Amino acid sequence: MSDKRHMKHRETARVMLVDEQNRIFLLKTHFDPEVGLPPRWLTPGGGIDQGETTLQTAVRELLEETGLSIDPAVLGEPVLVASGRWDWTDGESYHTYKDTIYEYSVQNFEPDTSGFTQDEHRDVLEYRWWTIEELLASGEALAPHDLREWLRVRFGA
């Protein structure tokens, strides 16, 4: 087997929204088309821009992807920092990632997606509130890779 060629490293900041019924809000997205990986569910968030902290990114992305405007101070410390690698379907390329995830309690809401970027309009296939039990039983792909296990521990499922 040949060595894979490293394509890029991506660091993100994300927010796990938990509603009053202990459901979490996730977005179903796919990677850029050239990557060729199947869609997966993830928390609102995205790439850290030059000069931004993870807190600033988390707040910016939350507003962009859900319409929720929050003060960074309410997020506290990250609840999960995960890293890994996504192998592309070309069999040669991959990218590594580091996701910093915060948790925020909210009342159930319908997101305002008017702040989506052009890429988000292309990449976000759907969004929904999940109970932990139905998400764990779904077999759906999740990101980061260890989110499923973290949810089991965090919510005792």
Query: What range defines the domain where residue 81 resides?
Result: 5-155
Strands 40-42 and 80-87: unpaired
Across the range 70-88, mean pLDDT stands at: 94
110: domain CATH number is 3.90.79.10
The total number of structural domains that make up the chain: 1
pTM summary value? 0.91
CB 119 within 8 A of CB 132: no
Q: Which of 154, 9, 15 is nearest to 84 (CA)?
A: 9
pLDDT at 56 over 60: yes
The tens digit of pLDDT for each residue in 92-151 reads 888 899 999 999 999 999 999 999 989 899 899 999 999 999 999 999 999 999 999 999
